[in-house]
Amino acid sequence: MFSGLTKTRDQFLGAVDDVLKGFKKIDEDLYEELEEALIMADFGVETTMNIMEKLREKVKTEKITEPGDLKLALQEIITGILTAHEWKPLVEEGKPNVILVIGVNGVGKTTTIGKLAHQFKEENKNVILAAADTFRAAAIEQLQIWADRSGVPLVKHEEGSDPAAVVYDGIKAAKSRKCDLLICDTAGRLQNKTNLMKELEKMGRIIEREYPEAHKEVLIVLDATTGQNAISQVKVFKEVANVDGIILTKLDGTAKGGAVVGICENLNVPVKYIGVGEKIDDLQPFDPKAFAAALFEQK
């Protein structure tokens, strides 16, 4: 995580340090420049305003007078925002699990599913994948490559077939093989929300009917490089589905990692995993304290 956040940290910390070095005392001009540094790191306007409000309060109550001490104060505030949600594991032990993965094209959804499958297989879980994103060209073939790479079976139909039918067959296969985990790649077409809603509702009904004993999670995959746009994507998806958690990819390729803080504060949906590299092991469970520490250059 530390190396994956290098671009964000360099921009964010560099800007914060520059601001703090330029002031001998804490005043309104200092606050304004700090505010700008947070917005530039893509924390978002609303989250930045909240952080600044908390910072002013902290300066008063803790009688902070040195500009240099504001860095630790900021870290404490940001850690507080990131740890507001309780992190629960994706998989419940002792019962079957179904994960529906949604997300617009290009966010790294299929790759993320492959990495999740690999991780759970390494933990000796019995995993099966279902290729229910049947309308995106080459989505099934792409998932097959990841299934082969991870050494897990894939349930698939022809391109253009009914996604819910694939989920149904996935459940049948998961039951017959006594799988711990069924991961379903599902559509991410936001252009036609009505169709997407119907599709996800149909899948949900099939899971409830055919697999009522299973623990179900709906995860949305977001591309961190889109920064604040990622927040609006979740808002739209939340209109059509009950989103249980977020997987944030490509954090290593952006200076917009501050968006994680905005996402945690604004959306009331916990970040479950973050992607900090290309390798199969570079998808990590999200550790809020470690993230805040990595943002502030503490190994």
| Tens-place pLDDT, residues 4-40 | 788 888 888 888 889 999 999 999 999 999 999 898 8
pTM assigned to the model: 0.87
User: Is CATH 1.10.3720.10 the right assignment for the domain spanning 6-82?
Assistant: no
Binding residues: 103-110, 185-189, 249-252
6-82 and 97-295: same fold? no
The rounded distance, in Å, linking the Cα atoms of 262 and 46 is 8
Which are the contacts of 93, defined by CB distance < 8 A and separation ≥ 6? none
- Residue 298 clears pLDDT 70, i.e. is over it: no
109-125 pLDDT tens trace:
999 999 999 999 999 99
Structure tokens at 216: 């179900």
Binding residues for GTP: 103-110, 185-189, 249-252
Query: Right CATH number for 97-295 from 3.20.20.10, 3.40.1000.10, 1.10.357.10, 3.40.50.300?
Result: 3.40.50.300
The residues spanned by each domain of the chain are 6-82, 97-295
Handedness of CA 272, 276, 282, 287 (dihedral sign): negative
